[in-house]
Amino acid sequence: MSKVARGLARRLGWATTGAMSTEKIEEELAHLARAIEDLHEMVVDQGARMDVLERRVAMLLERAAVAEAQNTGGVVIGDERPPHY
């Protein structure tokens, strides 16, 4: 086993004594590839959720601005004091 392979095996928590079988390496690589695919799917899903949330926040900010412009007792935004102070 090469020095690089031993270092990688040690970092991955594999036993470094003796020769690592090709089968063991392929098995670990398959697990790592699946983990990467799972993480990718989660990142894509979270990106889609963030897009939805950003649109909702923009919509709420627009509604608050319209309510404030109409002066109908809309939502207090930021450091503004409510009218009764």
Report the predicted TM-score, pTM, of the whole model to 2 decimal places.
0.52
Task: State how many domains the chain has.
Answer: 1
Each residue of 13-71: pLDDT tens digit?
Answer: 766 555 667 888 888 888 989 999 999 999 999 999 999 999 999 999 999 888 888 87
The CB-based long-range contact list for 62-69 (8 Å cut-off, 24+ gap) reads none
Residues 6+ positions from 2 with CB-CB distance below 8 Å: none
> Per DSSP, which regions of 1-85 are E strands?
none
Element (H, E) at 79: none
User: Does residue 14 belong to any structural domain of this protein?
Assistant: yes
Note whether residue 59 is domain-resident.
yes
> What is the distance of C-alpha 45 from the center of its chain?
9
Domain that holds residue 61: 3-70
Helix (H) or strand (E) holding 62, with range, is helix 22-70
